[in-house]
Amino acid sequence: MRSGAAVVGPSAVRRDARRSVRRAACAALACGLLGSAVGCDASARRGGPVRFEGRTERFAGVTAATAFDAAEFALRQWFRVDQSRPDEGLLTTFPSEYDERGGTGRIRDDAVRFPNRLRRTATVRVRSTADGAAVECVVKRERLDTSDHRVFAHARTFDDLPNQTPITAEAATTPRKNEVWTDLGRDRALEMDILRTVRERLADQTPTPIE
């Protein structure tokens, strides 16, 4: 062996291998996380008013106040109501959490039926129309991805570089504040169920004409 050649020991090889694996994990997770962030921020970057992208049903011969009461009744069948503003025609709910196996679009979830923690929130708007009232409903679904984000942060932090230190930000916050939720879009089936309940509630309150 030449005297000027560098000798690479087994420990150095293992350290380089670990570093490569961690960087690969960072890259894979970063692609998913950045993709979610881009989708969430796209409408905000475009500017202008935010459209209410939900399902709408119109009810003829019904006042907005009556439709609002029916909408609040319907929401309470699935959610706890957070804000109820009759003067604005606005109803919002607290998140409702539940567990589901698969069905989130990820290969891991569909292949092994991985259990996920999901949550839904609903927003309802009631407005007057020329012949009655309209009820607009949107239900959003989210998936808890805190563990995936922690893997990404761990790999990014402990990559054997001397200028990095362990993450300490979570030490001063609560587990609830550290939760990371990924948007899964709308729950259209539940939107239809809520509006169907509104329709049935209004039908029950309509007096039967006396012949």
Convert the pLDDT of each residue in 134-170 to its tens digit.
999 999 999 988 654 444 444 444 444 444 444 444 4
Domain assignment present for 2:
no
Q: How many domains does the chain have?
A: 1
User: Would the pLDDT of 78 be above 80?
Assistant: yes
Q: Give Cα separations from 199 to 26, 60, 73, 89, 195 (angstroms).
A: 49, 11, 11, 17, 6
Residue range of the domain that includes 95 = 10-161+174-205
Cα–Cα distance between 22 and 8 in angstroms, integer? Answer: 21
pTM of the complete model beyond 0.85: no
Domain assignment present for 157:
yes
Domain assignment present for 5:
no
Closest residue by Cα to residue 197 from 143, 122, 127: 122
**Which pLDDT band, with edges at 50, 70 and 90, does 19 fall under?**
low
Average pLDDT, rounded, for the chain: 73
